[in-house]
A and B are shown apart, each in its own frame.
Chain A
Amino acid sequence: MYGDVANKLVLEAKRTDQLANGSATLQLPMFQDEMVRVILKEVSQLQRNAEYLKMQEDGGKLSKCQYFVTMLCMERNKRCLLAYQKTRSEILDAIAWENNGLDTMDLLSNKGQDSGNLSPYEQEYLREYSQLISDLTAGELMDIDLAGSLTPPSDVFIDVRVLKDAGEIQTEYGVFNLIKDSQFFVRQADVERLIQQGYLQKL
Chain B
Amino acid sequence: MDINIDDILADLDRDTTAVGSTPAPAGEDTTRLDDSAATAAADYSTLMTHWCNERVAPELLPYPHALMARVLARLAAQIEHLETLSTGVLEQTLDRSAKLPLLCMEAELERLKFVVRSLLRCRLAKIDRFGLYLRQLDAGSPGALHTLLSEQERVYYERHSAIMLKLLNNAILRHMPPEMQAVDDTDGSVSMIDEPDWARFVFLYVREPAPDAPDPQLAVDDHGQPCYTVNIPELGEDVDLAVGGIYIMRYNVIKDLLMDGKVVLI
Contact = CB atoms under 8 A, between A and B. Distances in A.
A121 B118 CA distance: 30
B177 A143 contact: no
Contacts of B163: 125, 128-129, 132
Interface residues of A, number: 43
A50 interface: yes
A153 B120 contact: no
A140 B189 contact: no
A150 interface: yes
A47 interface: yes
Contacts of B116: 144
Given A148-B117, A150-B121, A72 B176 contact: no
B207 interface: no
Interface string A2-45: 00000000000000000000000000000000001000100110
Interface string A87-114: 0011001000000000000000000000
Contacts of B177: 43, 47, 50, 74
Interface stretch (A56-64, A77-85, A164-172, A175-183): A77-85
Contact of B120 (A144, A149, A156): A144
Contacts of B189: 72, 75
B156 interface: yes
Nearest to A141: B152
A85 B167 contact: yes
B117 A139 contact: no
Contacts of A90: 128
A152 interface: yes
Interface string B160-173: 10011011101111
Interface size classification for chain B: 35 or more
A115 interface: no
Contacts of A44: 175
Interface stretch (B58-66, B106-114, B242-250): B106-114
B33 interface: no
A3 to B, nearest CB: 13
B85 interface: no
Contact of B128 (A93, A144, A153, A156): A93
Contact of A140 (B72, B106, B117): B72
Give the interface centre of B116, B124, B176 by most chain A CB atoms within 10 Å: B176
11 contacts: A43-B175, A72-B189, A75-B180, A79-B190, A85-B167, A89-B167, A121-B171, A132-B156, A140-B151, A144-B117, A146-B124
Interface of B: 72, 75-76, 79, 103, 106-107, 110-111, 113-114, 116-118, 120-121, 124, 128, 151-152, 155-156, 159-160, 163-164, 166-168, 170-173, 175-177, 180, 183, 188-190
Given A125-B167, A132-B160, A189-B110, 4 more contacts: A150-B114, A150-B117, A150-B118, A153-B107
